[in-house]
Amino acid sequence: MASDPPTEPPELHEDVELDMERRRYILDAHAQLERITHYALLGVARSADRKAVKDAYFRLAGLVHPDRYFGKRLGSYKPKMEAVFARISIAYETLSRAQTRAEYDATLGVQEAEDKASGRHAAAAPVDPRVAEKRRVALEGLKQHFAEGKAKARHYAEVAARARAAGDVVAAAEAYRSALTFAPGDPEITAAYEAVQREAGAKLAESHKRKALLEERFGRWAAAVKSWERVVEAKPDDAEARARLANAVARANAGT
């Protein structure tokens, strides 16, 4: 039986002057304060240097410091923000000094061993709302780019279909090739492009064949060789073309 989807905390819909991503960050961070590590809370690696720790602190302090929201409706978020800010300050003070950081790392090693033994997972770092916004904007950009690409691919495919219907297989092949630059791997466009290429190859082979026969008639064997080579290249299974190419090569070499 499928599990029910997780329900959103009611605080998300509280009448406060905070954007949704900021609300999610505060609720997520506050809910994990008892278990989250200083590193995860600041969003830095265990190997982060003092500058990285300092930068992370000031970035997050600017995000959750209650003074930044003076005069705004914060409701139940205010005490949560104060608690998160206090913990962020502790994390910064601890990790920015070598001695306290070494002592913390030692206790953290014990905690991680206990978590591993009990099967518990470490608390994940809450997502900075500014990072979430950048991800959202990037995703929207990708969606728009994909939609524009599909529209351009559809346009070129329609141009190709009209050219093919008019008998211009060369123009059709070029248009299908353009369509595939915007929709690479599209099975329908790929199949149409390959079919048109075969049609164009066959048409071109017939043109070279007529030229080769004319060159044979007038004894221009060197030119006939080149024309028959193009026919064979386009239609490698054409036994007649291969035989005539061999004959043209022999005549050209004999100088007749």
Tell me, yes or no, whether 77 and 138 share the same domain: no
Position 124 scores a pLDDT of 59
% of the chain beyond a pLDDT of 90? 17
| CATH number of the CATH domain containing 203 | 1.25.40
Q: Which of 65, 100, 127 is the last residue of a domain?
A: 127
Residue 213 belongs to a domain:
yes
Q: How many CB atoms lie within 10 A of CB 184?
A: 11
For residue 132, what pLDDT is reported? Answer: 52
Which of residues 75, 106, 127 is at a domain's end? 127
Residue-wise pLDDT for 26-63, tens only, equals 888 888 888 888 998 898 998 999 999 999 999 888 88
Identify whether residues 106 and 162 lie together within a single domain.
no
Element (H, E) at 36: none
How many other C-beta atoms lie within 10 A of the C-beta of residue 233?
A: 13
Average pLDDT, the chain: 83
Residue 87 lies in a domain: yes
Query: Looking at 127, 143, 162, which one is the last position of a domain?
Result: 127
**One domain for residues 112 and 149:** no
Query: Six-digit token pair at 242?
Result: 């291969």
- Distance, in Å, from the CA atom of 177 to the CA atom of 163, rounded to the nearest integer, reads 13
Continuous H helices in the chain: 20-31, 38-42, 50-64, 77-95, 98-118, 129-165, 169-182, 187-217, 221-234, 239-254
Does residue 141 belong to any structural domain of this protein? yes
Long-range contacts of 85-93 (CB under 8 A, 24+ apart): 85/61, 87/33, 87/41, 88/41, 88/42, 88/57, 88/60, 88/61, 88/64, 89/57, 89/61, 90/38, 91/38, 91/39, 91/41, 91/42, 91/57, 92/42, 92/53, 92/54, 92/56, 92/57
Asked if the structure places residue 2 within a domain, the reply is no
Q: Is the pLDDT of residue 138 over 80?
A: no
Total structural domains in the chain? 2
Answer yes or no: do 121 and 141 share one domain. Answer: no
Give dist(CA 45, CA 48) in Å, integer. 5
Range of the domain at 53: 11-127
Q: What is the CATH number of the domain that holds 80?
A: 1.10.287.110
User: Residue 194 domain-assigned?
Assistant: yes
Task: Say if residue 89's pLDDT is above 80.
Answer: yes
In angstroms, how far is CA 46 from the centroid of its own chain?
29
Query: Based on the domain organization, do 99 and 32 belong to the same domain?
Result: yes
| Residue 4 lies inside a defined structural domain of this protein | no
6 falls within a domain: no
pLDDT tens digits for range 118-137: 665 555 556 556 555 555 56
Q: Are residues 77 and 170 in the same domain?
A: no
Q: Which whole-number Å values give the CA distances from 242 to 120, 123, 197, 237, in the listed order?
A: 74, 73, 22, 8
Same domain, 25 and 122: yes
Residues 120 and 33 grouped into a single domain? yes
pTM above 0.75, yes or no: no
Whole-angstrom distance, CA of residue 6 vs CA of residue 56: 30
DSSP 71: T
What pLDDT, on the 0 to 100 scale, is given for residue 1?
A: 45
Tokens of 58: 């000031």
**Amino acid residing at 172:** A
Q: Check whether residue 162 and residue 108 sit in a common domain.
A: no
Q: Is there a domain that residue 65 lies in?
A: yes
pLDDT value of position 100: 92
